[in-house]
Amino acid sequence: MVRLLISIVLVSVVLAACADTIETNTSPLTTTSNLPTTSEPAATVSPTTTTAQPTFTHPYVPTDIDPNYIVIAPKEATITSGQVLEFTATCYQNEGPEINISFEVDYTIDTEAGGYWDFNNYVSENPGTWKVTGTYQHPSAGCVFWTDSTTLTVEADEPAPAE
């Protein structure tokens, strides 16, 4: 909750500083027919505990990339309340290779969803269908942002049946 409040304050400060010059570039991927082709199905996460802390390796993101749009994945996912889901972000450049920017993106979820973020890992709390948004601001792009969103369904954690 504290991380969410800090993120909101930081975004508010950046937006206030950029209010006169802000431009927003949203992903041109507005229909499924425009999505990059992948063989990746919608993600369904099997039950896991949230106590284990994964080891993260931050990929190097070059400072001279030329973003055209970003894509947040998975595009749809279903997990149980209390589970963790890792999101990834890929930057598609105007020219050049696609780049993993997962750790450079600010991820948010609808406030009512509860839970919290640990970098690009979301620890779920409240059941429902929620919008997850990833926002990327390249260090040299000033007040220009690239965004993409996805849908996360959190199901209620049902207790194990009595034996």
Beta bridge partners of 69: 92
Domains annotated on the chain, with CATH: 2-30+66-155 (2.60.40.10)
Rounded average pLDDT over 151-159:
90
Beta bridge partners of 61: none
pLDDT band at 27 (very low <50, low <70, confident <90, very high): very low
Condensed to tens digits (0 to 9), the pLDDT of residues 72-119 reads: 999 999 999 999 999 999 999 998 899 999 999 999 999 999 999 999
φ, ψ (nearest 5 deg) of residue 38? -140, 160
Beta bridge partners of 85: 122
Radius of gyration of the chain measured on its C-alpha atoms: 17
Condensed to tens digits (0 to 9), the pLDDT of residues 42-66 reads: 555 544 444 455 555 555 666 777 8
- Please state, as a whole number, how many other Cβ atoms lie within 10 Å of the Cβ of residue 86: 17
